[in-house]
Structure 1
Amino acid sequence: MRTFFKWLLRIVLVFVLAAVVVGIWKREEIQRLMAVNSLFSEDKIVHNFSHMNEAFLTIDLPRGDGPTSELPYGSGFDLPEGTDQWIEDRAVTSLLVMQDGQIRFEEYYLGTGADDRRISWSVAKSYLSALFGILMEEGAIASLDDPVTKYAPKLEGSAYQDATIRNVLNMASGVTFDEDYLDYNSDINRMGRVVALGGELDDFAASLEESFTTPGETWQYVSIDTHVIGMVIRGATGRSVSELMTEKIVQPLGLERDGYYITDGAGVAFVLGGLNFTTRDFARFGQMILQNGVHDGQQLVPADWIAESTQPSAPTAQGKIGYGYQWWIPLGAHEGEFLARGVYGQYIYFDQPRGVLIVSTGADRKFREPGINEQNIEMFRKIAQSL
């Protein structure tokens, strides 16, 4: 009997030791998963959105050794009536207003500061569109009507088999994908856990097999479409998106701080929502777009691409907000009015005729409530018109 208990004790010790080893080995993954599960908690969301590198794998986008481009300050102005209440209601963390290349208003809220590198969520999609336009002009991609499988053969046999580049740029791939951020088991949240646990998004995209319509017929916001754009870019150039973004956009802009991308387990940039910059550095990108792709006398993004990509070319429903190539066009927009938008209150708003650029970041846990996006756009319009 004593021999049996000694044997049993050895077995228990072996299992305990194995559990400890696995716990240490998987500690980072477990910590990331726990961080993701509490990412949007009321008491943590503001901090988390300025410290995404604590929850995910990341890759730097170095600003380089060049000088920081100046963002001069112009005269201040009084924000329109109701702005303070809007800032409180929408949990705004930063608001920066520029006109004619000068900062007219800049403020930070909820304990955030100018040095915070904040997550932009789907604002990152518009950055990728700008990069895609550069690569199109350089000839890396032959046509928007090429099938995505020409450059991303891993997608052959998947739901993306018949989709073109134009389809995915327009969010009209027809791929079945649940974008409900409030449903733990939705595709968008499953994808988030894949990233947190070091999985590969290329595999995730290739695993999607169901379509709800023919590509190009119906607009439906499907974030994984943007990852497919990233796959096309990598396949066409043989280079990573982070390298290309750094070389062609980040370093020429003269940012004040390095940016960074969230990545999956293979080091592939989370191009659909993983960009992190300071508010002023988001403004540097925005000002370049506002100026039709020109920064400091240099044409970074082709003007024709900006004009084309910010037109409401996607097959959105009548009477609803328009969509271009990863850019939003508000209902009733005048020429040169468009925006980049991310969940929880991230915006870059453009009014080209007025020379106005507005950057707003937030931690708005009520962002999905009916009419919130429309209220935000109306506030940006009121600000632009009050200058």
Structure 2
Amino acid sequence: MDPKLIDIIRQNMHHSYRFLPTASVFRGSGDVSPIASDPQYLDELAFVDAAGRATTLSETLEQNHTDAFLVMHRGKIVYEKYYSGMEPTLQHGLASVTKSFIGTLVSIELYEGNLGANDRVHRYIPELADSAFGDATLQQLLDMQISCIYPVFFPEANYIDNQRNLLLTAIGTIPAKEGYTGPRTIHEYLASITKSQEHGSAFLYSNGPTEVLGWILSRLHGVSLAELLSQRIWSKLGAEKDAYFIVDSEGTEQACGGLHATLRDVARFAEMMRNDGFFNGYPIVPEAVIDAIRQGGRSDLLAASNRAMARPGYSYRNQWWITHNRFNAYEANGLYGQRIHIAPLAEMVIVQFSAYPGHSDETATLFSHAFEAIANHLI
């Protein structure tokens, strides 16, 4: 793999705040919540990887460009590693792990009755009435059952790269090419997307649905997404540091992949989700919200999609990947190997930051056996 590319990825994931506009997610004014530690030597934990090769945890982490890795078991940190300039106090890009934070926020609104799962997007965002999303239900957005066509301004790119490059150009994260006439903000980007077939008929993972959910949340409460995440979750965790979102030229947060946070603070969030919405004895997310996520969605739609080989047996629910494995694990996944893995029946959570130059499907396959080996070792 090209070392220069990996270095570029690391610079982007470690230091976005230096060269992009951002919005802070306030940690609150309370004390930092302590996390107990019970270190275990897991470096030489042996397992057979997805390619059938004998390996160890340390080899897998180093060979696949991990930046930071943390394992909690029964509420205690048992393993924590940092690589390649990553530090405990540095906010790392979460990429599409951000989607699961947004899905959790929307799920809270559904539980409280502020939103309806069968409500149509145009009810909240009339500006999108004529787009692909206008007649979609919120549950279809949450479960990635939106059938849409992204305008092609990057003819040399494949489908995944085209939709990602289109969004990043609209945000301003990557410069527009000469002659580019496409959207210049997140809201313009969403309005440019058209419908291809009836929603709910297929699983089609993409960025647009999450951006719409972020817009709905902000419109519903009349505050920024960063403020809402702080009020609802971040300020209640006893986080060590503010998190932050990348924003576009209008100040709109990138809901599908713009969140940055420290490893331990993401672990606090993950442990709260594992513990039925409680952290340090305080309720943060209703248990019913987490139960709904864990139940999963339509496995048949995911099995018929192009994501099935990387995630056999999975379903997708409320912006979370559900494994349906023997540990009842569910996950948040992101580009370049960002991961939250929550395994309730193993009483374990794992948080991973990486700079692997590939799609999240690749890293899901690379580390699936490692996560199961860790769980087997701890229980």
Q: TM-score, normalised by structure 2?
A: 0.85
**1:367, distance to aligned residue in structure 2 (A):** 4.0
- Determine the structure 1 residue equivalent to 2:83: 109
Tell me how far apart the structure 2 counterparts of residues 367 and 216 of structure 1 sit (CA, whole Å). Answer: 25
Tell me how far apart the structure 1 counterparts of residues 111 and 63 of structure 2 sit (CA, whole Å). Answer: 43
| Secondary structure, counterpart of 1:360 in structure 2 | strand
Tell me how far apart the structure 1 counterparts of residues 377 and 131 of structure 2 sit (CA, whole Å). Answer: 50
**1:195, distance to aligned residue in structure 2 (A):** 0.7
2:71 corresponds to which of 87, 97, 100 = 97
Tell me how far apart the structure 1 counterparts of residues 208 and 5 of structure 2 sit (CA, whole Å). Answer: 24
The residue type paired with residue 237 of structure 1 is H
Tell me how far apart the structure 2 counterparts of residues 335 and 382 of structure 1 sit (CA, whole Å). Answer: 12
- Determine the structure 1 residue equivalent to 2:315: 322
- Determine the structure 2 residue equivalent to 1:380: 371
The residue type paired with residue 67 of structure 1 is D
Tell me how far apart the structure 2 counterparts of residues 78 and 207 of structure 1 sit (CA, whole Å). Answer: 48
Kindly indicate whether the alpha-carbon contact (under 8 Å) linking 1:263 and 1:269 is maintained by their aligned counterparts in 2.
Answer: yes
- Determine the structure 1 residue equivalent to 2:62: 88
2:164 corresponds to which of 152, 163, 188 = 188
| Secondary structure, counterpart of 1:358 in structure 2 | strand
| Secondary structure, counterpart of 2:257 in structure 1 | coil
- Determine the structure 2 residue equivalent to 1:21: none
Tell me how far apart the structure 2 counterparts of residues 293 and 248 of structure 1 sit (CA, whole Å). Answer: 12
Alignment of 1:1-387 (within 5 A): 41-79=5-43, 80-81=45-46, 82-141=56-115, 143-177=116-150, 183=157, 186-196=162-172, 199-209=184-194, 211-314=195-298, 315-317=301-303, 320=312, 321-330=314-323, 332-334=324-326, 336-367=328-359, 372-387=363-378
Kindly indicate whether the alpha-carbon contact (under 8 Å) linking 1:126 and 1:326 is maintained by their aligned counterparts in 2.
Answer: yes
**88 and 273 in structure 1: CA distance in 2 versus 1, 3 angstrom threshold:** same
Kindly indicate whether the alpha-carbon contact (under 8 Å) linking 2:40 and 2:78 is maintained by their aligned counterparts in 1.
Answer: yes
| Secondary structure, counterpart of 1:85 in structure 2 | helix
Tell me how far apart the structure 1 counterparts of residues 7 and 228 of structure 2 sit (CA, whole Å). Answer: 36
Kindly indicate whether the alpha-carbon contact (under 8 Å) linking 2:66 and 2:355 is maintained by their aligned counterparts in 1.
Answer: yes
**1:89, distance to aligned residue in structure 2 (A):** 2.2
| Secondary structure, counterpart of 1:336 in structure 2 | coil
**1:76, distance to aligned residue in structure 2 (A):** 1.7
Tell me how far apart the structure 2 counterparts of residues 219 and 271 of structure 1 sit (CA, whole Å). Answer: 20
Tell me how far apart the structure 2 counterparts of residues 219 and 194 of structure 1 sit (CA, whole Å). Answer: 25
Equivalent residue pairs, number: 343
Deviations 1:160-179 (A, max 9, x none): 12211011101111112489
Deviations 1:360-387 (A, max 9, x none): 110001346x754223122111111112
The root-mean-square deviation of aligned C-alpha atoms, in Å, is 2.2
Kindly indicate whether the alpha-carbon contact (under 8 Å) linking 2:37 and 2:78 is maintained by their aligned counterparts in 1.
Answer: yes
| Secondary structure, counterpart of 2:200 in structure 1 | coil
**1:333, distance to aligned residue in structure 2 (A):** 1.6
Unaligned runs of 5+ in 2: 47-55, 176-182
The alignment-based identity, stated in percent, is 28
**1:313, distance to aligned residue in structure 2 (A):** 1.0
| Secondary structure, counterpart of 1:41 in structure 2 | helix
Deviations 1:89-114 (A, max 9, x none): 21000010000100001010112111
Q: TM-score, normalised by structure 1?
A: 0.83
The residue type paired with residue 200 of structure 1 is T
Kindly indicate whether the alpha-carbon contact (under 8 Å) linking 1:163 and 1:173 is maintained by their aligned counterparts in 2.
Answer: yes
